[in-house]
Amino acid sequence: MMPRDGMPLAYDLTMDGQGPLIGGELHALVVDDNEGDVYLVQRMLIDAGFVVAVAGTTEDALALMAYSQPDVVCCDICLPGADGYVLSSAIRERYPDVHIPIIFITGLSDEQALLKCFAAGGDDVMVKPVNPARLRAKVTAALRTRDLHRVLSRQRDQLALYQTDMQRDMEIAKSIMDNLGSEKTLALPNVSYHLQPMDTLNGDVIIGGRSPGGAQCFLFGDFTGHGLPAAIGVQVVHGVFCAMVARGHAIERIATELNRKVRQLLPRDRFLSAALIEIYPDSGTISVWNGGMPELLVRNAAGELLKGFRSTKLPLGVLPVEEFDATPTRRQLREGDALFCYSDGVIEAENAGGTMFGVERVKLALASGGQQAVERVRAALMQHTGGTPQRDDVSMLHVRFEREAMLALLDRDAPMDMARAATHWRCSVDLGSDALRCTDPIPVLGAVMDAIQGFGPRSDEIYMVVSALFARALEQGLLGLDPATKNEQSGFALYYHKLEERIAALQDGHIAISFEHTPDAEGGVLQIEVTESRSACHEGQMLRTAPLSNLAVVRSLCESLQFSADGRGAVARYRWYKNRVSGAPH
Amino acid sequence: MSISTQTSGDGQTLTIRVQDRFDFNVHRELRQAYEAAGKRFGNYVLDLRGTTYMDSAALGMLLQLREHAGGKRQAVRLTNAQPVIRDILAVANFDQLFTIE
């Protein structure tokens, strides 16, 4: 309906992006019991392009509005029955989610009466007689307010919906993360830990695992940032870590692969600060790779602080593959020694005064020794922060070196049955010096044997036998190292240092590993042969027949262990029984 | 504005300062500061004298700046870091990637 006096209504119907209202019409409701006044206002509004409804009382007006709400209400103050103030208040009360502009048009002129219009919820007030141009201007302004309100309401509702969706997605992500079963991997008698994420999704990660060789391995890490990107990172890292530990990969390879994966997966500004820990209970060797985590604290049984493991590497995901340094720090643990790890959320937690908790307070809480380390640090942390909001994820891990308890874990959850029937097969691999420099064949061979035969719970024992024979062939045979030096003071670190040096310098030689499997009525026999050969003698030292502690393990697990005349070849026969997990002869 | 920049006389070096908290809130501003000039600067200096706090997001931003600057250790220098900031850089071993003065 076009305005009759030629002046278009100065109002943009599409201001809120909704397009024109139904039929493109604007509706007004005039509430006044004076016919003459009604006619005048009605006329003005029709000229301005409105479709106008009229009510003579508050009651009628509200009844009409219950049917459909107008775009603007023009009402008098003096009405029969309930007055205009009551109408205005009622409108505000009944329609709290939409803003219906209310313009009072009244004959009253005293200040108090006019001010009361606003108190009753009105947007404006005009005193009769009404000036048409002014009415149009005020109605326009009122409609602008209305539309602003509409836009904001819609945005608020969209935001609320979005937030609900986000929260739901986060909770799904969280339950996926919980299903990873990290908690099970840490349910060990010598381990305690605490995870306290700041939000639904944790950017900190703690994973445990046991290698087939019996090592306890841990990943203690902290992704940059929080939320979904961190959670996705945790999923990937969890998968890689658990699979590699279960295969028996050494800590260096795990670090290398994790670095590669994180770098590939996450954008350049995101990485994983982490400490990788590998503890062999039988020898007490601990290897730690620390890239970006606070110093891992080591205490002895009496609670005294020993040398810790500082961060010496860049976090995972920062360096490209060719620059990555996977070399861990190796030390020896004694019975009762304990390792305490904590994320920077612990030391950076502030009290009301802005003082950080700091590493000295951690050390203080640990000082009394004993087993309740995590509880004590938690308590001290809570006491320090009081009620201040948590600003970062908090995590702690405590691992005690308890040799017997750790060794006893070895066969705990091994299922009995074989996946496949025992079959005849052979498999062999021959590695030249260049392959030996960069390949660890044991996990790969384990995977092959799993694929061909699948030894189930016996895989661990077989792994130990193959590892021991391979180590003998490589370390003693090709590299000329003396295993007895491992037992000396800081002998392990020295031994491994020499090992790395000599492997890097290895120029000739081969190691051949072969398997031959023969099933029988009770189970089967796996014959493992490991032979090393090289063209030149190394240092003239024939150490190959010197007893090795792992050879004792081999002898205990195998039916027989024999050496060739020159000592370069070893043949072990591992017999397994259908009704038993262990191959060790009774 | 928590980021301020300064160009050297010879137009070769861009010095950036981050005031107070160097965290994820600063991300956009910092990026704009060094990306605006494209790759025309040969050297970048991050003057940390006014920086009182740095988190892992900030370390990530440093890595992005380093990549923008060509990925070499000499390309980005971190200067005047307060002790608490130095510690954070030390734990992360960022001296392997940046020249820290």
pLDDT tens digits, one per residue of A290-299: 999 999 999 9
Listed in order, the ranges of chain A carrying CATH 3.40.50.2300 are: 22-154
Task: Determine the residue of chain B that is closest to A223 in CA distance.
Answer: B56
ipTM topping 0.85:
yes
- Residue A412, pLDDT > 60, answer no
| Nearest of A107, A138, A139 to residue A32 by alpha carbon | A107
- Residue A1, pLDDT > 60, answer no
Say if CB A6 and CB A16 are below 8 A apart: no
Q: Is A352 exposed, middle or buried (0-12, 13-18, 19+ CB in 10 A)?
A: exposed
At B7, list the tokens: 């160009």
CA of A295: how far to CAs of A225, A309, A313, A362, in Å?
A: 21, 5, 12, 11
Closest partner residue to B97 (CB to CB) among A224, A291, A314 is A314
Predicted confidence band of residue B91 (pLDDT cuts 50, 70, 90): very high
Residues 6+ apart with CB under 8 A from A442: A248, A463, A466, A467, A470
What is the SS3 assignment for A110? coil
A291 and chain B: CB distance < 8 Å anywhere?
yes
CA of A91: how far to CAs of A26, A81, A108, A121, in Å?
A: 18, 16, 21, 8
Q: Nearest C-alpha of chain B: how many angstroms from A188?
A: 29
- Residue A416, pLDDT > 80, answer no
Task: Determine the residue of chain B that is closest to A266 in CA distance.
Answer: B60
pLDDT at A417: 59
A221 and chain B: CB distance < 8 Å anywhere?
no
> A425-577 is classed in which CATH architecture?
2-Layer Sandwich (3.30)
CA of A525: how far to CAs of A12, A181, A418, A552, A572, in Å?
A: 89, 35, 14, 19, 10
Torsion region of A119: left, alpha or beta (phi above 0 gives left; psi -120 to 50 gives alpha): alpha
Question: Can you give the residue range of the structural domain that contains B50?
Answer: 3-100
Helical residues (DSSP H) of A48-131, grouped into ranges: 58-67, 84-94, 111-119
Say if CB A279 and CB A216 are below 8 A apart: yes
Mean pLDDT of A241-246: 92
Angle at A288 between CA A287 and CA A292, to 5 degrees: 170
pLDDT at A92: 95
Say if CB A485 and CB A494 are below 8 A apart: yes
pLDDT digits (tens, 9 = 90+) for A144-191: 888 898 899 999 999 999 999 988 988 888 888 888 877 888 989 999
A312 and chain B: CB distance < 8 Å anywhere?
yes
Listed in order, the ranges of chain A carrying CATH 3.30.565 are: 425-577
Task: Determine the residue of chain B that is closest to A325 in CA distance.
Answer: B96
A274 and chain B: CB distance < 8 Å anywhere?
no
Rounded Cα distance between A431 and A480, Å, is: 18
Q: Nearest C-alpha of chain B: how many angstroms from A520?
A: 57
What is the SS3 assignment for A124? strand
pLDDT at A24: 60
**Phi, psi (degrees; rounded to nearest 5) at A566:** -85, 0
Rounded Cα distance between A478 and A468, Å, is: 14
Residues 6+ apart with CB under 8 A from B36: none
Catalogue the long-range contacts made by A139-145 (C-beta closer than 8 Å, 24 or more residues apart). Answer: A139/A28, A139/A45, A139/A48, A139/A72, A139/A74, A139/A101, A139/A103, A140/A9, A140/A10, A140/A11, A142/A72, A142/A101, A142/A103, A143/A11, A143/A26, A143/A71, A143/A72, A143/A101, A144/A11, A144/A15, A145/A99, A145/A101
Say if CB A291 and CB A311 are below 8 A apart: yes
Angle at A345 between CA A278 and CA A262, to 5 degrees: 55
DSSP β-ladder status, A50-55 and A72-75: unpaired
> A22-154 is classed in which CATH architecture?
3-Layer(aba) Sandwich (3.40)
Task: Determine the residue of chain A that is closest to B23 in CA distance.
Answer: A225
One-letter amino acid at A259 equals N
Interface contact B93-A294, CB threshold 8 A = no
Interface contact A314-B60, CB threshold 8 A = no
Read off the DSSP letter of residue B51.
E
Mean pLDDT of A549-577: 87
pLDDT at A23: 41
**Phi, psi (degrees; rounded to nearest 5) at A582:** -95, 145
What is the SS3 assignment for B9? coil
The CATH number of domain A180-408, selected from 3.40.630.40, 3.40.228.10, 3.30.830.10, 3.60.40.10: 3.60.40.10
pLDDT digits (tens, 9 = 90+) for A513-554: 999 999 988 889 999 999 998 744 443 444 444 445 568 888
Rounded Cα distance between A388 and A379, Å, is: 15
A342 and chain B: CB distance < 8 Å anywhere?
no
Interface contact A273-B92, CB threshold 8 A = yes
B83 and chain A: CB distance < 8 Å anywhere?
no
CA of A349: how far to CAs of A157, A357, A519, B22, B87, in Å?
A: 36, 6, 61, 17, 16
Interface contact A271-B97, CB threshold 8 A = no
Rounded Cα distance between A156 and A153, Å, is: 5
Interface contact B61-A269, CB threshold 8 A = yes
Predicted confidence band of residue A585 (pLDDT cuts 50, 70, 90): low
Predicted confidence band of residue A391 (pLDDT cuts 50, 70, 90): confident
Average pLDDT along chain B: 90
Residues 6+ apart with CB under 8 A from B24: A225, B55, B57, B58
Torsion region of A225: left, alpha or beta (phi above 0 gives left; psi -120 to 50 gives alpha): left
- Residue B12, pLDDT > 50, answer yes
Say if CB B26 and CB B36 are below 8 A apart: no
Closest partner residue to B93 (CB to CB) among A269, A313, A392 is A313
Predicted confidence band of residue A9 (pLDDT cuts 50, 70, 90): very low
Q: What is the dihedral of CA A7, A11, A12, A13, to 10 degrees?
A: -100
Domain count of the fold of chain B: 1
Buried b (16+ CB within 10 A) or exposed e, A132-160: beebbebbbbbbeebbebbeeeeeeeeee
Radius of gyration of chain A (CA): 40
Torsion region of A554: left, alpha or beta (phi above 0 gives left; psi -120 to 50 gives alpha): alpha
pLDDT at A370: 58
The least confident of A146-155, A447-456, A554-563, B82-91 is A447-456
B97 and chain A: CB distance < 8 Å anywhere?
yes
Rounded Cα distance between A427 and A430, Å, is: 11
Q: Nearest C-alpha of chain A: how many angstroms from B36?
A: 19
The secondary structure element, H or E, covering residue B31 is: helix B27-35
Task: Determine the residue of chain B that is closest to A296 in CA distance.
Answer: B91
User: Which chain A residues are closer than 8 Å to B97 by Cβ?
Assistant: 314, 318
Closest partner residue to A314 (CB to CB) among B57, B67, B92 is B92
Q: Nearest C-alpha of chain A: how many angstroms from B10?
A: 30
B71 and chain A: CB distance < 8 Å anywhere?
no
Q: Domain containing B78 — which CATH number? A: 3.30.750.24
Closest partner residue to B92 (CB to CB) among A268, A292, A392 is A292
At A246, list the tokens: 């279960």
Q: What is the dihedral of CA A478, A480, A485, A490, to 10 degrees?
A: -70
Q: Nearest C-alpha of chain B: how many angstroms from A67?
A: 50
pLDDT at A124: 94
Residues 6+ apart with CB under 8 A from A130: A40, A41, A44, A105
Mean pLDDT of A380-392: 90
B59 and chain A: CB distance < 8 Å anywhere?
yes
Rounded Cα distance between A140 and A373, Å, is: 70
